[in-house]
Amino acid sequence: MTDRLIVVGGGLSGIAVALGAALKGVPVTIFESDDKLGGAAAYSGGLVWIGANHAAIDSGIDDDLDRVRAYIRDIASRHPELLDEEAMERWITTAPVAARYWEDVGAITWTVIPGLADYHEQAKGALPEGRYITAAPVDRQRLGPWADKLRIGPYHPMGTTYAEALAKGRRNFDDPARDGSAGDRSENIIDDRAMVASRDEKEIFANDRSRHLTFGTGVVAAFLSRLLEVDGDVEILTGHRVTELLTRDGAVVGAVAQHAGQSVSRQGRVVLSTSGYDWNPELMREFIGVEEGDFGSVAPDSIRGDGLLLARSVGAATMTWPAGTVPMMPGWPSKVGTGFSHGPEACLPHSMIVDSSGRRFCDDSYWVDIMDKAFAENDRHWPMFLIWDDDHRQKYGLQETPPGGEYPEGLVTSAPTLKELGTALGIDGDALTETAAEFSRWAERGEDPHFGRGSVAYIARNLGDPNNDGNPLLGPIRKPPFHGLRLKVLGTGIGMSGIGVDAEARVLRPDGSVIEGLYAIGSCAAFTTSGTGYNSGFALSRGITHAYLIAESL
């Protein structure tokens, strides 16, 4: 009898590896700690980054693996010791094969997202489009009764494609039809606000639009619906949190989960697929260096580092990435999604970010540079504060607060002068006043010679105010009253640090030996495949690629 495969975590990577195994006749059990499936992937924009993928090539886009290698090596060059060349090679050469395989077996229909450039447009091997693919819309009726067990992402409007999201995201800020409601804003917070090929949207949405699942939810739904069609021994157990791995002679031979106060065990090889550690205060302190009150996450609160802790319990190695290289964002409490917002307001004119000295330290419109500088190993700028004036309040609002509205009590600190605002926030008020004056002088010219705000093209294009004179990301901070808040670090479910694995996703001990019977895929595994270089879509790409590799090894 074929050994059972036990998958810990019912997100995209876990569902994909379960599907791959089930298609080969392997009995499968998915243990998902939450009551719903989908994990962090369901909350994401559903971007999957694969170089030289067949969908792009079929569309006439020129790409090859040499350029893919060059790109990853370039963006990872600051910490080359964290890039595993063997793991990178296995990932980038297998990913296009895996993408075609998943489409061939009916798990997904890929759509290229045109016009979306690689994050680091100046890096060697970067492309202006073609490496981002996502799922064509999925009819939720394909899921049957399991539709109610699928997590629906709160940050992306279901039934809307990237093309429509872009059109909405770039509406005139003075449009009176834009009411500033939370729902309206959630339509604007789309990964890079890219366009997706329409595929004749009139035909796709001929029926009730709300039936169609898109973005990250749609990618998960595609794989899940195919898994539900497999005629085999497939067991999906939600509300089952794995608390123990069973071992024999140093190998992992099973897992024990807790459900309604009862223990449920299964025997077999184990795949850990539990994403990052966002909602675990101890692990956030260990890997990022922030205390509980200073962080939040846009990933589901079931992302607690369970896979990492389970791996450690059986002697697995873990690897640590510099905190500034982790894909996180500055944010604040909100009523949207998980209770935190990373809205575009911090990118819009008449705002800036400072540290407690009252000085700027980064391109404060670009979250990659913000986190890199805020958590620099030898020059941290944490805590940090978002500062803006009343022009910003009247034009843009703040998440669920509409333009010109009043902020929720306790969220924002306001004062008639920048000096008084600084004192109230615990910032050097005199320095804050000087910083705003210098920033404003250059902002009036549409320039930021000190930190380059406004120079990242896709931020300016997709997150700025196109109606702002001079630069869509720059405006002076002069109109009282002035406003500010202490920012929080928001995780995305991708912690970079994680379980040590080899090129085949097998879990390793600190001495480099393999723990038999144990794999780790998705964001619970350390990102040795790309080192400290990061691009949106890496995580989902690696997850479905490693899922394919494990299934093939069975």
For residue 468, how far is the Cα from the chain centroid? 29
Note the pLDDT of residue 115.
78
Structure tokens at 43: 């909350």
Cα 550 to Cα 272: distance, rounded to the nearest angstrom: 12
Q: Which two tokens stand for residue 292?
A: 């509980």
Q: If DSSP codes are grouped into helix, strand and coil, which group holds residue 508? A: strand
Largest CA distance in the chain: 75
Say what the pLDDT of residue 40 is. Answer: 96
Edge-to-edge strand ranges of the sheet holding 506-508: 234-238, 28-32, 5-8, 269-272, 514-520, 506-508
Other beta carbons less than 10 A from residue 190's beta carbon: 21
Listed residue (213, 190, 197) closest to 44, CA to CA: 190
Q: Any residues with CB less than 8 A from the CB of 460 and at least 6 apart, and which? A: 365, 454, 471, 472, 473
- Out of 3.40.50.880, 3.30.465.10, 3.90.550.10, 3.50.50.60, which CATH number does the structure's domain 3-180+189-240+493-546 have? 3.50.50.60
CA atoms within 13 A on the CB side of 18: 33
One-letter amino acid at 332 equals: W
CB atoms closer than 10 angstroms to residue 467: 12
pLDDT per residue rounded down to tens, the chain (554 residues): 468 999 999 999 999 999 999 999 999 999 999 999 999 999 999 999 999 999 999 999 999 999 999 999 999 999 999 999 999 999 999 999 999 999 999 999 999 987 788 988 889 999 999 999 999 999 999 999 999 999 999 888 888 877 666 555 443 333 322 223 233 332 222 233 333 333 344 444 444 656 899 999 999 999 999 999 999 999 999 999 999 999 999 999 999 999 999 999 999 999 999 999 999 999 999 999 999 999 999 999 999 999 999 999 999 999 999 999 999 999 999 988 889 988 789 999 999 999 999 999 999 999 999 999 999 988 999 999 999 999 999 999 998 899 999 999 999 999 999 999 999 999 999 999 999 999 999 999 999 999 999 998 778 877 899 999 889 999 999 999 999 999 999 999 999 999 999 999 999 999 999 999 999 999 999 999 999 999 999 999 999 999 999 999 98
Closest CA to 103 of 63, 53, 37, 151: 53
Which among 130, 162, 174, 143 is positioned nearest to 38, based on CA atoms?
143
* One-letter amino acid of 464: G
**Separation between Cα atoms, residue 387 and residue 372, nearest integer Å:** 19
Q: What is the CA radius of gyration of the chain?
A: 23
The predicted structure's pLDDT at residue 255: 98
Alpha-carbon span 77 to 2, nearest angstrom: 43
pLDDT of residue 203: 46
Residues 6+ apart with CB under 8 A from 301: 279, 338
DSSP 316-331: --EE---GGGS--EEE
Measured in degrees and rounded to the nearest 5, phi and psi for residue 517 equal 80, 10
> DSSP letter string over 30-63?
EEESSSSBBHHHHHS---EE-TT-HHHHHTT---
Rounded distance, CA 466 to CA 44, Å?
26
Give me the residues paired with residue 341 across strands. 332
Could you give the dihedral angle defined by the CA atoms of residues 220, 221, 225 and 226, in that order, rounded to the nearest 10 degrees? -40
Instruction: Give the C-alpha separation, 415 to 495, whole Å.
Output: 37
Tokens of 407: 């902020």
Q: What is the three-class DSSP state of 89?
A: helix
Question: What are the beta bridge partners of residue 385?
Answer: 354, 486
pLDDT at 181: 29
Compute the half-sphere exposure of residue 323: CA atoms within 13 Å on the CB side of its CA: 26
Residue 208, pLDDT score: 60
Torsion on CA atoms 262, 267, 273, 274, rounded to nearest 10 = 20
Positive or negative torsion for Cα 439, 441, 443, 449: negative
> What is the Cβ-side half-sphere exposure of residue 538, based on CA atoms within 13 angstroms?
28
The distance of Cα 205 from the centroid of its chain, to the nearest Å, equals 27
Residues with Cβ within 8 Å of 61's Cβ and at least 6 positions away in sequence, in order, are: 112, 127, 129, 130
Q: Are strands 48-49 and 132-135 parallel, antiparallel or unpaired?
A: antiparallel
Instruction: Say how far apart CA 242 and CA 224 lie, in whole Å.
Output: 21
Question: Is-same-fold flag (3-180+189-240+493-546; 328-489)?
Answer: no
Confidence (pTM): 0.90
How far apart CA 488 and CA 493 sit, in angstroms, is 15
Q: How far apart are the first and last CA of the chain?
A: 13
Could you tell me if residue 52 is left (phi over 0), alpha (psi between -120 and 50 degrees) or otherwise beta?
A: left
Q: What is the DSSP letter of 345?
A: G
The domain limits of the chain are 3-180+189-240+493-546, 328-489
- Give me the amino acid identity at 405: G
- Give the position of tokens 């333009």: 403
Comparing CA positions, the residue from 540, 544, 534 lying closest to residue 83 is 534
Angle, alpha carbons 223-224-229 (nearest 5°)? 100
Cβ proximity of 300 and 365 under 8 Å? no
CATH topology for 328-489 is: Flavocytochrome C3; Chain A, domain 1 (3.90.700)
Phi, psi of 100 (to 5 degrees): -65, -40
b/e code 293-317 from CB counts within 10 Å (16+ = b): ebbbbbbbebbbbbbbbbbeebbbb
